[in-house]
Every structure is written in structure tokens, then in C-alpha cells.
A and B are shown apart, each in its own frame.
Chain A
């Protein structure tokens, strides 16, 4: 045995330090490896993912000025039949000046709904009824009722306002317009939600935010 191996102050101490470090490091690595199965077990195989399902909705019972709610992908979908007064109100410059994204620049809708009325046809509006602020469901305010004279959506949670086309007001806490789902008109009174004939490549997973 040499002096350096037996001396507690030089070589021996260093060797023991290395052993301690190696033991602690391997122990930590082992604990981390053991944590992996615990964490992966938290992943839910039935987690909500977007399905390819489409939904056909018959609109023949919807009178002008009325609205209805259907469920698609677990989301509330608002469908409204607009009156000429509502359409006129959407286009007044005074109203447009109060909007955050009046021209729908943010990707919150398919290409065939990127227009002033944010829908395939001006007389029907289809929107995902989930506030872009913190996910509450806004309620429809009929035209003429407060607080939006031209009708629109009001979120009860934090007071966000959207107009009848789902465009968010500037003073609202919500950052984006209400999303528009892909819609195809099968006939004058029947729509298919989930596929857009005007923008076939559109997917709800691409939009800015639900």
C-alpha cells in the first residue's frame, strides 16, 4: 500500500468523495427513472381529442332573429338566423370602430367565413359558444336588448361582449373573436358542421384559440 491510498487527508478522501458523489448521482437517477411510470400513468387514454365526426343540423324550424344551440365535439355551437336589421348593424362604421378584430385577421374561422359576417351565408351565423377569455359559455342577447343594441353575445364570467358575428369588443377582456366551425350548406335549410366545402383543409386544431 502506498502512502497516498492510506492517508485520510489526501488520496483516500478523494476516493471516498467520488464514491459518495457516484452513489448519490446514481440514486437520484434511479429515483427519476422510477418516477416516469408514475407520471405516464397520469396520461388519460380517453383524453378529449378532436374527432372527425360531423353533425347535420336541420334549420327549417329557425325563424329570422332566433338562435339555437347544438353540441359538436363537446362544444356548444350557436346557430342564429339573422334579420336584415342585424346584418345592417354589423356593417355600421360606428360599430366596427368598437371591435378588436373587425376584419377577422386572426385565424379563428375557415376561409369561407373570413368576411364581414363571419359565416358562409350572411343570413345564418354558426359559432363555437366558448368565450376566448376563460372558457365560459356566452349567452345570446336578442337584438334591441341591452347591452348590445344590435344583438350579440355576452359572457357572464368577466363581461366580454361579442357582436352577432362573434367579433369581440375592444373593451372586453377576451382577446379573440369567437371561433367559427367548418360549415357546409347541404341545402337551404340543412347544414353539416365539421366539414367546410369552401376551405376543405381547415381544422379546428389550427385556430388561434377555442
Chain B
């Protein structure tokens, strides 16, 4: 960077924010061949900001007490001015957040963004995914509808099957064996706290990105300045345009299809004596729910559901090949799309009743997910011929 011509200003001498912004967000060299999939990180940042803003204003009108929670959410929908909009924004935001998250992760898998030197970028990203999952789970309990109650009961009882620590820890954290007032209050605190913890980890994730620089579709880091473009105006305008398209989809969900992804049963207050006939998870948890259900043993189901995420954490050490992009790896190019398809199939299976057919589909899809990461990736990276 050329030396500044005039002496640094008052602020610059005390806190060099302007020069850091200039270095990281204006002059920052970006690979010039990035495709549309590289905009999903920006979508995630914007959605997260909307979630926190709408969440704060919803919290102002929400009562975390089992006798009043359901009514307070109904009041937000029906009586509070613009309450319906804030809630719809928050509920639609979860779907947009998870959709972008899964695409963002799939992109990293396809172009090998988890490989050296970006391992910490990958791990902080997966950590963010887990944090978003915990937050979404806690948030879904808050309206205290039938689906909130029974979904949480199933997860809680699955956690109880962890030997030795499962039951005591969950009883300590939720204040009792079953879901009650204490649990609701604590899940509210958890939901709130996690949101801000996520912001802190996003800061780590983005800092790591600015240290190791973005990957690109070729998987080969740019070597000369000719292969890069400054972040502004090239990528600010491109991400800005992509964000407009993204917000159009988001707005469509919020304004035209607010009920598309909610279940009617969650507009019935929680009743510990009756489980709804048609119990389904939210779509973003469906793949893991399908795994939980496809395994005849409870602990086994839980371990495999957790394991399906754990293999992602282990991926930088499972895949030792120096070639990043799957487009240059003939076998990965075949195996990885099947793994993506398996994930989608698990999601579809998780949304359907547990008939024999769907159980078989779940088991096959689950098997391929694990085979891809635990068998194909280590073997292929030993003996593949890359193009």
C-alpha cells in the first residue's frame, strides 16, 4: 500500500478503522473468476443481521412462560402493529439462513475450500452451522405450540440416551425431566445468547477469510495481481446485485407464502397429553431426523446423526489430496454429487411418514453419505489422477 500523502487524521492515529476498511473492503484483492456461489456468504451476513434485528423486536413482546408464551406469540401476529411482519421476517429468515448455509457449505465441499490453508475457515464455519442449529432448535420451542413441544420432547429424549451424562446434564440444563416452565425460560435465554455468540464467531470466520484470502472455482490461488480485482467496486456491485435477487426471494416468502413452511399443528397450544398425528421436523432438520429414525437403536441413531456432521469436521484430515476443486478430480466429481443427492433424499424422507420405502431410502442415502466421506475421500486422495 502506498504511504498516505498527508499525515494521518485524529481518528486514524487512535483507531485505524478507515485504513483497515480501505485495505480489507476496498482494495482487498479478490480472485477475478468467482462465480455466483461466492455470493452466499454475503446473503448469510445480511440474513443474520435481519434475524437479530427482528428477533430483538419480537423479544420485546414475547413472554417466556408456558401459560403466556403461546398467547403472546398470537398477540404479536394479531395485535401488535406490524408484529405479523416481524414474525414472518424472522420465520422466513430461518429458512433463508439454512438454505444459504447448506449451499455455502456445498460450495466449499465442491471447490475444496476446506483444504490448507483454509482449515480454520472451514472449522469456524462448521462451528457457526452448529450454533445456528442450536439457536434454531431453541427458537422453535418458544411459540409453545404442539410442534414446538413434541419436537423438543423427541430431541430431549434422544439426548437422554447418551450413556451416563445424557440425563443428568439435560436435567440440569433444562431444570427437569420433561419440558416445563423452567425449560422454556432457559431456552429463551439460550436463543438470545447464542444469537450474539454467533456474531462473535462470524467475526472470527471473516477475519480468517481475510487472512487466507478466498478460494476460487479453479482451486488454484491467484499468483499475480492480474488475476485479481479489487473488492470495490467489482464485488461490492456484484454482491449488491445478487443481494437484490436474494431479497426478492426472501420477500416473496415473507409476503406471499408466510405459511408455506409452517405447520398448522404449531398454531395449537402445547398439550403434554396429546402428540399430533402428523409430526414432522422443520425442513432444515429433516435429514438428521431421517437418520435418527432410520436406525433401530436410539443411541445408534443419535450417534449417526451427530456423526453425519462430525465427518465434515474431520474432512480436512480425511481428504489429503492437494487438488482442491472437484472439477479437476474425476472420481470426486462423480461421488460428491451423489452425496449431495443423499442429503436431499434424507431431507425428503424425514418429511414423510416412516413407511418401509422411506426407511430404505433413508438407510441407502445415509450409507452413501458416510461412504463418500469415510471411504471414497481418503482412498481417492491416495491414488487419483487429477486433470
Q: Which of B8-16, B273-281, B329-337 contacts A (4 or more CB under 8 A)?
A: B273-281
In the bound complex, do residue A175 and residue B153 qualify as a contact, i.e. CB atoms below 8 Å apart? no
| Size range of the chain A interface in the assembly | 20 to 34
Question: Sorted from nearest, which 9 A-B pairs have the closest CB atoms?
Answer: A44-B175, A135-B157, A134-B157, A159-B354, A136-B275, A137-B275, A134-B154, A47-B176, A76-B273
A69 to chain B minimum Cβ distance, whole angstroms, is 6
The A contact surface, by secondary structure, is: loop
In the bound complex, do residue A48 and residue B178 qualify as a contact, i.e. CB atoms below 8 Å apart? yes
In the bound complex, do residue A136 and residue B154 qualify as a contact, i.e. CB atoms below 8 Å apart? yes
The verdict on A44 contacting B153 (CB below 8 Å), with A71-B273, A134-B158, A136-B275 known, is no
Roughly how many angstroms separate A129 CA and B178 CA in the complex, as a whole number?
A: 14
In the bound complex, do residue A39 and residue B172 qualify as a contact, i.e. CB atoms below 8 Å apart? yes
In the complex formed, the residue of B with least CB distance to A138 is B275
In the bound complex, do residue A173 and residue B279 qualify as a contact, i.e. CB atoms below 8 Å apart? no
A49 to chain B minimum Cβ distance, whole angstroms, is 9
| B293 CB contacts on chain A under 8 angstroms | 158-159, 173
Q: Is A12 positioned at the interface, with any CB of B under 8 Å from its CB?
A: no
Q: Is A133 positioned at the interface, with any CB of B under 8 Å from its CB?
A: yes
Interface positions, chain B 131-172, Cβ under 8 Å from A, are: 150, 153-154, 156-158, 171-172
In the complex formed, the residue of B with least CB distance to A40 is B172
A-contact 0/1 string along B175-186, CB 8 Å cutoff? 111101010000
Among A136, A137, A159, point to the contact of B353 (Cβ < 8 A).
A159
Q: Is B81 positioned at the interface, with any CB of A under 8 Å from its CB?
A: no
Q: Is B320 positioned at the interface, with any CB of A under 8 Å from its CB?
A: no
| A155 CB contacts on chain B under 8 angstroms | 275
In the complex formed, the residue of B with least CB distance to A175 is B298
The verdict on A133 contacting B298 (CB below 8 Å), with A48-B176, A48-B180, A158-B293 known, is yes
| B307 CB contacts on chain A under 8 angstroms | none
B147 to chain A minimum Cβ distance, whole angstroms, is 11
In the bound complex, do residue B273 and residue A48 qualify as a contact, i.e. CB atoms below 8 Å apart? no
In the bound complex, do residue A69 and residue B157 qualify as a contact, i.e. CB atoms below 8 Å apart? no
B170 to chain A minimum Cβ distance, whole angstroms, is 11
Roughly how many angstroms separate A203 CA and B278 CA in the complex, as a whole number?
A: 34
The verdict on A46 contacting B154 (CB below 8 Å), with A137-B275, A175-B298 known, is no
In the bound complex, do residue A69 and residue B154 qualify as a contact, i.e. CB atoms below 8 Å apart? no
Q: Is A139 positioned at the interface, with any CB of B under 8 Å from its CB?
A: yes
Pairs A–B under 8 Å by Cβ, sample size 27: A42-B173, A42-B175, A43-B172, A46-B176, A46-B182, A47-B176, A48-B177, A76-B272, A76-B273, A76-B274, A129-B273, A133-B298, A134-B153, A134-B154, A134-B298, A135-B157, A136-B150, A136-B275, A137-B272, A137-B273, A155-B275, A156-B275, A156-B277, A156-B278, A157-B154, A158-B292, A159-B293
